[in-house]
Structure 1
Amino acid sequence: MTYRNRIAILMLLDSLIVLSAIFLSSYILYDTFAMREDVLLISAIVLFVAHHVFAVFYGLYQKAWEYASIGELFIIFNTVTLSILFAALTQYVLQGSIMLRALLVTWMLHMLMIGGSRFAWRMFRDNWFQTIKGKRRTLIVGAGSAGTMVARQLLSSHETELHPVVFLDDDPKKEKIQFLGIPVKGTVKDVVDIVKQEKIEHIIIAAPSMPQSNLNTVFEQCSETKVHTQIMPKMEDILTGKVSINQFRDVEVEDLLGREPVELDTVSVSSYITNKTALITGAGGSIGSEICRQIAEFSPEKLILLGHGENSIYKIERELQNQKKGNIEIIPLIADIKDRARMFEIMSFYQPDVIYHAAAHKHVPLMESNPFEAVKNNVFGTKNVADAANEAKIGTFVLVSSDKAVKPTNVMGSTKRIAEMVVQQLNEKSNTNFVAVRFGNVLGSRGSVIPLFKEQISQGGPVTVTDPEMTRYFMTIPEASRLVIQAGALARGGEIFVLDMGQPVKIVDLAKNLIKLSGFTEEEIGIVFSGIRPGEKMYEELLNKTEKTERQVFPKIYIGRSVMDDQPSINLITKDLETINQNDVSNYVIKLANGQYDEVKKFSYLKTLS
């Protein structure tokens, strides 16, 4: 039905109701048309004109009545009431009195027939026009505004294969109450029994206000039913139009971290990014590409994507070009951070306002086997970019570091700690604000355990875990990227920013969750403990005791400052690293990163410390 046809039908229906209601009320009250015929006729005409004027004013004909609710009923009330008042005024002018009883009955007939006609269509659409044959019986966890929104969408949609039949909600006030004709039959603890009683085939978790720490518990209870469990999209994605409310998604490991995500202070971030030039090294990597996506939301003038791998840079550049807002100039640069002259050339030419240095080798076992490559990329590469930033007088430089830089036992963590020393020493004498950001393991990033576990599960298992007691801090790629961006806004120079990542997670628990999320049991997909690999620790820290402070500079973001006393000059360190025997590299960087300076003084240039 076209828009014009729909409007015409509604106006014709209302016209018949309005013109007939006042005559019908007179007949009901007096068994005859007791009003003077001229007054009755004029009252009907006034009601007709006034009703359509107020209907247009309040947008009565533009409403989608298949989704009618209290708001639409209130519009009908306003339209009918004001129309009756105009008719009453007309009667008073014509005959000096008001047929109050007749107008009250007319008002009630208007409300009943106009409102009833709209809600009758909704009832017809919900109960007759839509068939539930072949649809899957669905349980909705959460009977709040989000849950009822999901239920209404499912009831009114022809395309979905889901049909809601029952709610569960932990609010005792809602027990045995019906929403949209769907009963609340218990709490989440009753999910196993309710699934059996109601023959549930699908579960939707629709509780966006639920604390993140509770979601893991809810999912655990739902997973006991062996019924496919999904979660509604994020409200911000629905409101911004990225997804529709019925685009449910499977529960991801990220949802089970048990921690509320860190959000950006958009005002402070905008102040140093909007209409400025931002450069991201390692822009094609997991963290670098997400930083690019989030920076693009703040409308920089230029966004420079610097990376060594042409395919990854091409991919993120095309993605940003297709999704960019406004007139952002996106500049892809293929360059190696180990090329010192090229770094100085880029900084001098583009003069970025802020640099996010995400380029790094980060795979622990691989770097144990290739220590000098870790040094060249993570130390020399960082020094090249940082020196170039200092020379070009860049405003802010943010180094992406790692929790493995704390008391490092491996080459990767040690080179990251030395990279922190590079930027901290430069900050002492530079006009550029050099800061570092530490965070734990990033879920879904290249080389992380999640892609490995998924691959092992897809192959039928087993899933390999190093040790049953090994723990790690985890965060999502968007969280990590937000922390890096927020650090730029908080930077005053020399800080190490750390995210409050909650409690560390056992790797074995992560593996168990992923097996469940994949629809398997631990009996079907086994877990094998392979033992700790070279350079790994049983647990990670985010700050040394000497670095820890209680100062929270932003919700869930803390700041630490490494002790700079007696640290050898970075220039001396790099000279040693250029001349040192490659067999001694691992031992050298680990001792240096842990502050064991006496142990490394035997190397030529550092003897000057003694």
Structure 2
Amino acid sequence: MSTNEFANSVILITGGTGSLGKKFIEHALEHLGPSTIIVYSRDELKQFELREYFNRDPRIRWVIGDIRDRERLSSAMHGVDFVVHAAALKQVDTAEVNAYEYVRTNVTGSQNVIDAAVAAKVRKVVALSTDKASSPVNLYGASKLCADKLFTSANMDPHNQHTKFSVVRYGNVLGSRGSVVPLFRRLAAEGKPLPITDKRMTRFWITLDQAVDFIVNAFVHMQGSELFVPRIPSMRVVDLVEAIAPGAITHEVGLRPGEKLHEEMISEVDAVRTYKRGDRYIMLPQSGRLDEDMPMVGRLPDGFNYRSDTNDQWLSVAEIQELIA
């Protein structure tokens, strides 16, 4: 598949009113040439605001709906060629005290997306994952790991004869809603100390543009069942603070419920089913035989894992400042 195959297609994005959805819509309208983009989400105010932002572009259809509602989702999928599944509940600490709500959205909702896509004979679906789904220690990460497994196994459903499913997994998105950057800027402007979870903390870092490019590229190269992980840099939280407010006073607040000191995108266990291709890692599902499915070129060494604290790419303070400018 080439990006030209998006021309005159119908693309549906769940949770499309978020930061990633907005950037994806911009990219698709400018570069992919779809006939229609369907934004499926449950917040009418966010849809109104985004509709105004895009000047009521006639190529965008706005559908109010929840991925928990299989019937509504199935109706919205009719005639759709490609699906970006971005809808999810994402707050780590909130998940710990609202566990079942996260399961209903992130797990059951994901299965609804799969069922609706298969019934509508959608061509390709890419689901968005998170670094917290690798070796999860919190409910949010565990629910997203379940969703990853649902999507990568959906290709093997005997009732599915038309739809390919794959997953992309990446780290913190610079400029996304909920990013710590606006909070740090506001506190710094007010002359207040900046709260740091732990001065040792590290995170993977990707821009919205990079995330969208990676999603589109996954559509182009997917065969079905792969989990794509970009090779992206890490950053130290203390360097982020220095980039935003040089010399600012900080205070450590400790890990929140379910929070990790360092993030991971590929565990040592998963690495045996993962190989490297250029600027990405490609993880194959647990089903199948390694000697038959895994290419010899690019296999990862024994004991490999992909963690934010042992990454071989790092952002300097100056590079962070350039990114957040």
TM-score by length of 2: 0.83
Q: CA deviation at 1:315?
A: 2.1
Aligned-partner Cα distance in 1 for 2:275–2:69: 40
**Residue equivalent to 1:270:** 4
Cα deviation, 1:411-451, whole Å, max 9, x if unaligned, reads: 11111100011112211122311000000001121222212
Aligned-partner Cα distance in 2 for 1:316–1:482: 21
Q: CA deviation at 1:491?
A: 1.3
Which of the numbers 471, 474, 490 marks the counterpart of 2:221? 490
Please tell me the residue identity of whatever aligns with 2:18.
G
In 2, are the aligned partners of 1:277 and 1:300 still within 8 Å (CA)?
A: yes
Change (3 A) 1:451 1:368: farther
When Rg is computed on C-alpha atoms for both structures, the one with the higher figure is 1
Q: 5 Å matches for 1:449-488?
A: 449-488=180-219
**Residue equivalent to 2:304:** none
Which of the numbers 352, 362, 380 marks the counterpart of 2:80? 352
**Structure 1 residue 376 and structure 2 residue 104: aligned?**
yes
Q: CA deviation at 1:318?
A: 2.6
**Residue equivalent to 2:245:** 515
Please tell me the residue identity of whatever aligns with 2:22.
S
**Residue equivalent to 1:505:** 235
Aligned-partner Cα distance in 1 for 2:65–2:175: 25
Q: 5 Å matches for 1:76-475?
A: 268-271=2-5, 273-297=6-30, 298-321=32-55, 329-348=59-78, 351-429=79-157, 430=160, 431-475=162-206
What SS does structure 1 have at the residue aligned with 2:62? Answer: strand
Aligned-partner Cα distance in 2 for 1:541–1:316: 33
In 1, are the aligned partners of 2:83 and 2:126 still within 8 Å (CA)?
A: yes
Q: CA deviation at 1:329?
A: 2.2
What SS does structure 2 have at the residue aligned with 1:407? Answer: coil
**Residue equivalent to 1:551:** 276
Q: CA deviation at 1:316?
A: 2.1
Aligned-partner Cα distance in 2 for 1:487–1:411: 27
Aligned-partner Cα distance in 2 for 1:529–1:562: 39
In 2, are the aligned partners of 1:546 and 1:562 still within 8 Å (CA)?
A: no
Identity %: 35
Aligned-partner Cα distance in 1 for 2:285–2:266: 9
**Residue equivalent to 1:531:** 254
Please tell me the residue identity of whatever aligns with 1:411.
L
Aligned-partner Cα distance in 1 for 2:55–2:11: 16
Please tell me the residue identity of whatever aligns with 1:306.
Y
Aligned-partner Cα distance in 2 for 1:443–1:427: 32
Aligned-partner Cα distance in 1 for 2:238–2:227: 30
Aligned-partner Cα distance in 2 for 1:388–1:321: 30
In 1, are the aligned partners of 2:14 and 2:85 still within 8 Å (CA)?
A: yes
Aligned-partner Cα distance in 2 for 1:371–1:454: 32
Q: CA deviation at 1:457?
A: 1.6
- By percentage of residues, which structure has more helix? 1
What SS does structure 2 have at the residue aligned with 1:473? Answer: strand
What SS does structure 1 have at the residue aligned with 2:206? Answer: strand
Aligned-partner Cα distance in 1 for 2:217–2:55: 24
Aligned-partner Cα distance in 2 for 1:270–1:544: 35
What SS does structure 2 have at the residue aligned with 1:427? Answer: helix
Return the structure number with greater relative CO, CA threshold 8 A, min gap 6. 2
Aligned-partner Cα distance in 2 for 1:557–1:269: 19
Aligned-partner Cα distance in 1 for 2:42–2:189: 31
Aligned-partner Cα distance in 1 for 2:269–2:7: 36
Q: CA deviation at 1:306?
A: 1.0
Q: CA deviation at 1:564?
A: 3.7
Aligned-partner Cα distance in 1 for 2:240–2:97: 27
Cα deviation, 1:467-509, whole Å, max 9, x if unaligned, reads: 111110011111112111211111110000111003x211111
Unaligned 5+ segments in structure 1 are 1-266, 517-521, 566-610
Aligned-partner Cα distance in 2 for 1:321–1:354: 24
CA RMSD after TM alignment: 1.6
Aligned-partner Cα distance in 1 for 2:281–2:49: 34
**Residue equivalent to 1:33:** none
What SS does structure 2 have at the residue aligned with 1:372? Answer: helix
- By percentage of residues, which structure has more strand? 2
**Residue equivalent to 1:228:** none
Cα deviation, 1:33-84, whole Å, max 9, x if unaligned, reads: xxxxxxxxxxxxxxxxxxxxxxxxxxxxxxxxxxxxxxxxxxxxxxxxxxxx
Aligned-partner Cα distance in 1 for 2:51–2:82: 19
In 1, are the aligned partners of 2:153 and 2:285 still within 8 Å (CA)?
A: no
Unaligned 5+ segments in structure 2 are 289-325
Q: CA deviation at 1:379?
A: 0.8
In 2, are the aligned partners of 1:442 and 1:475 still within 8 Å (CA)?
A: yes
In 1, are the aligned partners of 2:12 and 2:77 still within 8 Å (CA)?
A: no
Aligned-partner Cα distance in 2 for 1:448–1:564: 36
**Residue equivalent to 1:169:** none
Aligned-partner Cα distance in 2 for 1:360–1:311: 18
Aligned-partner Cα distance in 2 for 1:530–1:444: 23
TM-score by length of 1: 0.45
Cα deviation, 1:266-288, whole Å, max 9, x if unaligned, reads: x92222x1110000111100111
